[in-house]
Structure 1
Amino acid sequence: MKIDLKGKAAVVTGATHGIGRAIATGLLEAGASVTINARSRDDVHAAVDTLRRTALNVEVRGVAADLGTPDGCAALVKAIPDADILVNNVGIYEQRDFFDTSDDDWQRLFDVNVMSGVRLARHYLRGMLQRDWGRVVFVSSESGINIPADMLHYGFTKAAQLAVSRGLAKLTRGTAVTVNAVLPGPTRTEGVERMIAAMAAEQHRSPDEIAAGFVREHRPSSIIQRLAAPEEVAHMVVYACSPQASATNGAALRVEGGIVDTLV
């Protein structure tokens, strides 16, 4: 399958590391022009430089803004008024006992994980509908279905993303615009790599042993029995953004290694 996104402009949030950067790379390789976002100006500049070195003649730019705030979303929209593709990837998580999770903790994760996507979709989706072509993808998580007891507030935000994406898809009825969600599972991002390396050094074991043990202990229903690579998640996202995915709308596309034990 040859995915061609030449002439399409994409915005990818939370894209300086991990899954977000892998998505940005995949969209660039498919020919799209890409704007990446993160809070840190230094991280954005470094990621743009790295992406420009990955291939010749790529069109990539960056906008530093905190999308957990209305002002940050407004700054991104002002810098990039229109987009054909919006990937709402930005997100934060933390392990915390329910009884120790404050109102502020709940609100902070909701603002970053949910309201960022709501605010950006409210702006960019309108233009997509007017032009009769567009793709919106929410990067949710298997935790939105398989709510983790030690990250209940995180699972809540990922379930909310599924509700928002499904509802927005209904607004695209009869058009060439689609809205979908992608559900990764545990993924070997830079942050996870650092955690694994620290645990491996402490336990005098190899990083691969630690990674496999993490999946067996925390996600025993996994069928692939390993952490996914960011690129494996990105492949699904790029497909959802492609012309070939024109009949995929309002879907929750799982790329979590079979953790969620349901038929649909």
Structure 2
Amino acid sequence: MRIDLSGKTALVTGSTQGIGLATAVGLAEAGASVVVNGRSEAGVRRAVERILAACPGAAARGLAADLATSAGLETVMAAVPHVDVLVNNLGIFEPRDFFDVDDAEWLRFFEINIMSGIRASRTYLPGMLERDWGRVVFVSSESALQVPPEMIHYGMTKTAQLSVSRGLAERCAGTGVTVNAVLPGPTASEGVSDFVMRLGVGGETAQDAVDEFVRNHRPTSILRRAATPAEVANMIVYLCSPQASATTGAAVSVDGGTRRSIT
């Protein structure tokens, strides 16, 4: 199967590192014109350089904007009024005890992890529906279904993404637009590596540390190691492809079998 997204424009939010950057690389390799997003000009520039290094000749550009705000989305929309593929990847996480998370922090997670995807989808879905083709993917987490007690505030946002994703898929019923969610498990991204290090898990490399975390703290993992960002991105790119036309309203796991379920 050869995925060809030539002629399609893809926006990946929060894509200067980790799963977002790996997804942007994968979409560029499939021929899409990719728009990278992050808050800092320097971070966006480095991400575009990495995409071009991995995929010489790719069509990639960056837009620095904080998509946790309406103003940030307006900046992106002014520069990119139409997209064919929207990957709502922007998100944050932090281990905090439930009793230490105040109202402001709950609202911050809600704005970044949930509202960024809602605003972007509300902005770009109408154009997809007009053209009768489009792909929207929400990058959720296995924490949406197995809420971690050390990050209840994070798990809540990931569960909410599944609700929004499924609802939008049904709103687009009978069209050429699909909406899906991806549920990564422990992934050896920069953010997860930092999280694991803060928990005091050691290892010679960041990958070793995250793999050790999986073995000790996610013992239900069948993979017995962390996924790489590219492994998660492979699923996202597939869901963005023409070949995935019959997959919509789904929550697709890329968690290495961490969640003990036959569904």
Matches within 5 A, 1:74-223: 74-193=74-193, 205-207=203-205, 210-223=209-222
1:52 and 2:52 are equivalent in the alignment: yes
C-alpha deviation, 1:196, in angstroms: 5.9
C-alpha deviation, 1:120, in angstroms: 0.4
The amino acid of 2:108's aligned partner reads: R
C-alpha deviation, 1:246, in angstroms: 0.2
C-alpha deviation, 1:75, in angstroms: 1.3
Spell out, residue by residue over 1:227-264, the C-alpha distance to the aligned partner (whole angstroms, 9 max, x if none): 10000000000000000000000000100011111111
For 2:143 and 2:194, locate their aligned partners in 1 and report how far apart those are by CA, in whole Å.
22
The amino acid of 1:105's aligned partner reads: E
C-alpha deviation, 1:89, in angstroms: 0.3
C-alpha deviation, 1:130, in angstroms: 0.4
Between the two proteins, what is the percent identity of the paired residues? Answer: 55
C-alpha deviation, 1:77, in angstroms: 1.3
For 1:188 and 1:46, locate their aligned partners in 2 and report how far apart those are by CA, in whole Å.
19
Cα distance change on mapping 1:61 and 1:101 into 2, 3 Å:
same
**What is the TM-score when the length of structure 1 is the normalising length?**
0.95
Supply the RMSD in Å over aligned alpha carbons: 1.7
C-alpha deviation, 1:70, in angstroms: 1.2
Equivalent pairs counted in the alignment come to: 262
For 1:94 and 1:57, locate their aligned partners in 2 and report how far apart those are by CA, in whole Å.
37
For 1:161 and 1:198, locate their aligned partners in 2 and report how far apart those are by CA, in whole Å.
26
Structure 2 contact 138–165 (Cα < 8 Å) conserved: yes
Structure 1 contact 199–210 (Cα < 8 Å) conserved: no
The amino acid of 2:216's aligned partner reads: E
**What is the TM-score when the length of structure 2 is the normalising length?**
0.95
The amino acid of 1:210's aligned partner reads: A
For 1:146 and 1:199, locate their aligned partners in 2 and report how far apart those are by CA, in whole Å.
19
For 1:178 and 1:79, locate their aligned partners in 2 and report how far apart those are by CA, in whole Å.
24
> Where in structure 1 are there 5+ consecutive unaligned residues?
none
